Amino acid sequence: MRRPSVLLTRDFVELDITDFRSEFDVHAGRKDSFMSHEEIYTHLPEVDAVIIRHQDHPNRKFIEAAPNLKIIANYGAGYETVDVGYATERGIWVTNTPEVLNDTTADLAITLLLCVCRRVTEGERYVRQRKWIAYNPNDFHGSDPRGKTLGIIGMGRIGQEFARLAQTFKMKIIYHNRRRLSEEVESNLEAEYVEFNDLLARSDFLSIHTPLTDETRYLLDTDEFEKMKDGVFVINTARGQVIRESALAVALKSGKVAGAGLDVHENEPRVYSEFLELENVVLLPHLGSATLETRAKMAALTVENVRLVLSGQRPRTPVNEVRLTP
């Protein structure tokens, strides 16, 4: 009897999957890089499961090339590049890795907030360039987060954890979300629900934690930046395409936005060229969940989902619903 075949577009460096390999025929990319699309497509006709990252774009063409496919297991929380509708139509489970990366991503968002408002990376570059000759109390004045108004766009699991961390700095938290939170959760977070334009107008700091959807694509554009306070700080650890980067660059140059911290980018891995010339933007290479502990949890959950589906069971963290067959 043929063992199920699994395609892993990058071998896990974070998790020992020796047992997993003993159960299934695993075709894996290298630990240091992902398979090319061309290589992926050579394996699709024979596989029963694929473990992908969002850049692999499992679209309709991808799915049609894999007639035996039973599960698309996304190694990450976001799944906007997966054609979930067509996968469901074909009886294919789609899974992701929510919750296990909440704390780590929220930690990074707070890190970016502090780096931007305290001008940490500017000061670090100044020292490395050997420009620091003597202490000058007039250098690198930043802005205190304490007592300021923090606007959160997207109050899901990561947004809520970010709000808890922000409480440490005694920030006034306002938020806008597709659905308002319960009174109990709002009370615990000391968070006030406001309409979107109100959030733009009131926020001293604005942090994005919304998934990328048709509704949130370019949610922040020229008109939205014009509605913000002068000197606002913008943090994005969600998806790059929530912000139109050309509009953000204009706002950064004018001082409308005092600083930005970006872990995600509109056209990853390409960084908007004008940002590279600006001192008041912190640029990271999509590090949101990048700790060994969190990535190991993500890998373990991904593997668990594959095991469950290939044994005829419902996955632990499905994005869609598929009828189980006996």
Closest CA to 177 of 165, 162, 317, 169: 162
Could you read off the pLDDT of 283-302 as tens digits, one per residue? 999 999 999 999 999 999 99
| Mean predicted confidence (pLDDT) in 17-30 | 90
The yes-or-no verdict on residue 319 having pLDDT over 80 is: yes
Residue 47 structure tokens: 């596989």
pLDDT at site 304: 97
CATH of domain 102-283: 3.40.50.720
Specify the 3-state DSSP secondary structure of 236.
strand
What b-and-e string marks burial along 77-114, b requiring 16 or more CB atoms within 10 Å of the CB? bbbebbbeebbeebebbbbbbbebbbbbbbbbbbbbbe
CATH code linked to domain 5-100+292-310: 3.40.50.720
Catalytic residues: 239, 268, 286
Residue 50 near residue 69, CB atoms below 8 Å? yes
CATH 3.40.50.720 residue ranges for the chain: 5-100+292-310, 102-283
Q: How far apart are CA 152 and CA 316, in angstroms?
A: 29
User: Comparing 299 with 1, which gets the higher pLDDT?
Assistant: 299
Would you say residue 164 has pLDDT above 80? yes
Q: What predicted TM-score, i.e. pTM, was given to this entire model?
A: 0.91
Structure tokens at 57: 């774009």
What is the mean predicted confidence (pLDDT) over 223-233? 98
Tell which phi-psi region holds residue 255, choosing left (phi > 0), alpha (psi between -120 and 50) or beta.
Answer: left
% of the chain exceeding 70 in pLDDT = 99
166-205 b/e with 16+ CB inside 10 Å = b?
A: beebebbbbbbbeeebeeeebeebebebbeeeebbebbbb
What single-letter DSSP state applies at residue 172? E
Q: Which residue has the higher pLDDT, 117 or 323?
A: 117
